[in-house]
Amino acid sequence: MTSTKPHSKDLSVYFTESAKQRDNSPLKSLMKYMSADPALVSLGAGLPHPSTFPLGALTTLVAQPGHMLSECAHPPATSIQVNQPTSKTEGLERFLQYGNGRGVPSYSAFARTHTASVHNPPYADWDVVPSVGNTDAFVKALMLFCDRGDTLVVDEWTYPAILGTVGPMGIRVASVRMDAEGAVPEDLDRVCGENRVRVAYMIPTAQNPTGATMSLERKRAVYAVAQKHDLVLIEDDPYYYLQFGAYEEPAEGVDRLRGLPGIKGLIPSLLSLDTDGRVIRLDSFSKILAPGLRCGWVTAPRYIADKIQFHNETTVQQPSGLSQALVSKLLNEDWGHSGWESHLLRTQREYAVRRDVFVDLCREKLKGLAEFTVPQAGMFLWFRIVLPPQLEQRQGVMDEVFARMIEKHVLLVPGRMFSAKGVDGPYMRAAFSYASVEDLGVAVDRLREALLTFQQEK
């Protein structure tokens, strides 16, 4: 079956000078000559001999997909071993040896197959490249197109690491107004018209910090604006699989978890709409396996993925071989794609329960104290703190609110940490991912106590 998909638009004309210069490492290029001819003796590469690696077989006990510790102390588990090469994965020695910025092949192979299956990118020449997580992937994507003096389009409330990166790089931000679904397309259009911009950064699912999730229509509208202004879209999507749908009030006999999307029911990504090849999609294993693995992948037109590979080669090289080995073995062999889907469904359930418990409590106990839009995905709730009119405008009042919460032993993140415009506002971000279900109840009680003190102030 021949592909009738179009080729990506060539956006390399917008590359920074640094990006244009990124190329194959000359030493790694020598690998080309290490052809299948075993008669070629290569003393070219500075690789240590694998017999000096002191690690033998690596064995992990992994919960069977669909089971989590929150159900029972000892979920059913299987033991998987990384040692000799198999038909689907390399041997441990290969995972532990130097490679190039494209990582160990079986890891990328999974990412490629999974991306094709879930997103089916509508252009022909897309590819994947490993990352050490979305924060680093973002910086590498940004540096392809933005230099000192350039401007990045971001949501008016956004992930603080972004703001912490662009500042020192001398890159300005232009912020886009948000509504309950995220960036407002008309305002995106306005911002692009009023500023010289090339790149927009979005977190379309369970946006950090507002928890907003874009519908498919919203994504189409955003994509249309991106096409109009010839933008590159950085789709930072670490919560993509943590979709669980609209909130329902608890009702007798109703299973609120009956409609979890799995993979088939997920809202399509910006990548899946990307006929032009202008989306650089960032996927991470942080929220769907574990943050400490420090691995994910980037999907982009191949010429862009290549540049990120070269950038990897002058920085991190590739993700830890141990992380790649574990992920590859698990997803290519042990769980496979169907096990992965079971795991993602179970993860959705976990977060759906948390969302429901937390929202039930907040609706019950924080009436008149805090407002919020219920998140349909992810782990964040964005509170708009309701203060009496005489307090609303008081200088530094949100610092007082934060301090009062600390006094009551509940920790949220003040909204100003997330402001692209450097403004304060009556917002607090709560994460319902970590605390136990019991603690969620205690937390809401403490929040209520703290906020009541402001209502009672004269």
Partner 1 sequence: MNTDQLAFNCPPSHASPKDLGEFFVPSMRGPTKSAFKSIMVNPILTMINMAGGMPNPNTFPILQLQARVKTPGATSSQPEDTLTIEKKRRNKTTECLDELLQYSGGCGLESYCSFLYNHTQRTHSPQYADWGVIASCGNTDAIDKALSLFCQPGDSVLVERWSFPGTLSKLAIARLKPVPVALDEEGMVPADLDRVCSEWGGATPLRVLYVIPTGQNPTGTTMSLARRKSIYAVAQKHNLVIIEDDPYYFLQLPKFTSNQGYDTVTDRTCGQQQALVSSLLSLDTDGRVIRLDSFSKILAPNLRCGWVTAPQYILDKIQILSETTTLQPSGLSQGLVSKLLNDTWGMDGWDAHICELRAIYTARRNHFVRMAEKHLSGLVEYTVPLAGMFMWMRVNFGAASADPTAMTRLLYKMNECGIMMAPGMSFNSTATLPSDHYLRAAFALVDIDMFEPALLRLAHAISTISGQSASVNDEAATNDASCSSSKYEIRAYVANNTDKVQLIAPVGFNVAVANGRG
Name which of residues 25 to 44 contact partner 1 (CB under 8 A). 25-44
Q: How far is the CB of 154 from partner 1 (least distance, A)?
A: 14
Q: What's the rounded Cα separation, in Å, for the pair 323 and 344?
A: 19
**Given candidates 12, 97, 113, 151, which one binds partner 1 under the rule CB under 8 A?**
97
Q: For residues 83 and 215, which CB has a smaller minimum distance to partner 1 in the complex?
A: 83
Q: How far is the CB of 151 from partner 1 (least distance, A)?
A: 17
Q: Which of 179, 242, 224, 254 is nearest to 376 (CA)?
A: 242
Q: Pick left, alpha or beta for residue 144 (phi over 0 → left; psi -120 to 50 → alpha; otherwise beta).
A: alpha
**Given candidates 169, 353, 357, 391, which one binds partner 1 under the rule CB under 8 A?**
169
**Given candidates 11, 132, 141, 214, which one binds partner 1 under the rule CB under 8 A?**
132
Q: Of 6-14, 250-258, 262-270, 436-444, which part binds partner 1 (CB under 8 A)?
A: 436-444
* Residue appearing with tokens 């960032």: 282
Q: Is there binding between residue 182 and partner 1 (CB under 8 A)?
A: no
**Given candidates 6, 164, 259, 265, which one binds partner 1 under the rule CB under 8 A?**
164
Q: What's the rounded Cα separation, in Å, for the pair 82 and 60?
A: 8
Q: Is there binding between residue 299 and partner 1 (CB under 8 A)?
A: no
Subset of 143-162 contacting partner 1 (CB under 8 A): 148, 160-161
Q: For residues 65 and 277, which CB has a smaller minimum distance to partner 1 in the complex?
A: 65
Q: Is there binding between residue 94 and partner 1 (CB under 8 A)?
A: yes
Q: Is there binding between residue 61 and partner 1 (CB under 8 A)?
A: yes
Q: For residues 133 and 204, which CB has a smaller minimum distance to partner 1 in the complex?
A: 133
Q: How far is the CB of 198 from partner 1 (least distance, A)?
A: 19
Q: For residues 197 and 450, which CB has a smaller minimum distance to partner 1 in the complex?
A: 450
Q: Is there binding between residue 116 and partner 1 (CB under 8 A)?
A: no
Subset of 367-396 contacting partner 1 (CB under 8 A): 379-380
Decide: residue 363, CB within 10 A, 0-12 exposed, 13-18 middle, 19+ buried: middle
Q: What is the DSSP string of 150-187?
A: -EEEEESB--HHHHHHHTTTT-EEEEE-EETTEE-HHH
**Given candidates 254, 257, 290, 423, which one binds partner 1 under the rule CB under 8 A?**
290
Q: What is the DSSP string of 310-372?
A: HHHHTTT-SS-HHHHHHHHIIIIIISHHHHHHHHHHHHHHHHHHHHHHHHHHHHHH-TTTEE-
Subset of 217-256 contacting partner 1 (CB under 8 A): none
> 244 to each of 201, 216, 219, 352, 427, how far by Cα in Å?
24, 15, 18, 6, 24
Q: How far is the CB of 212 from partner 1 (least distance, A)?
A: 15
Q: Of 117-125, 218-226, 285-293, 369-377, which part binds partner 1 (CB under 8 A)?
A: 285-293
Q: Is there binding between residue 52 and partner 1 (CB under 8 A)?
A: yes
Q: Is there binding between residue 410 and partner 1 (CB under 8 A)?
A: yes
- Phi first, then psi, for residue 355 (nearest 5°) are -60, -50
SS3 label, residue 88: coil
Subset of 305-324 contacting partner 1 (CB under 8 A): 309, 313-324
Q: Is there binding between residue 113 and partner 1 (CB under 8 A)?
A: no
**Given candidates 406, 421, 453, 457, which one binds partner 1 under the rule CB under 8 A?**
406
- Phi first, then psi, for residue 240 (nearest 5°) are -50, -45
> CB 195: neighbour CB atoms within 10 A?
15
Residue pair 318/133 in contact (Cβ under 8 Å)? The answer is: no
Q: Is there binding between residue 136 and partner 1 (CB under 8 A)?
A: yes
* Amino acid symbol at 363: R
Q: For residues 220 and 302, which CB has a smaller minimum distance to partner 1 in the complex?
A: 302
Q: Is there binding between residue 338 and partner 1 (CB under 8 A)?
A: no
Q: For residues 47 and 180, which CB has a smaller minimum distance to partner 1 in the complex?
A: 47
**In b/e form, how buried is each residue of 382-410, taking b as 16+ CB within 10 angstroms?**
bbebbbeeeeeeeeebbebbbebbeebeb
Q: For residues 222 and 260, which CB has a smaller minimum distance to partner 1 in the complex?
A: 260
Q: Is there binding between residue 210 and partner 1 (CB under 8 A)?
A: no
Residues in the interface with partner 1 (CB under 8 A) total 130
Q: Which of 120, 206, 259, 195 is nearest to 381 (CA)?
A: 206
Query: Which residues lie closer than 8 Å to 373 by C-beta, 6 or more apart?
Result: 180, 210, 211, 212, 382
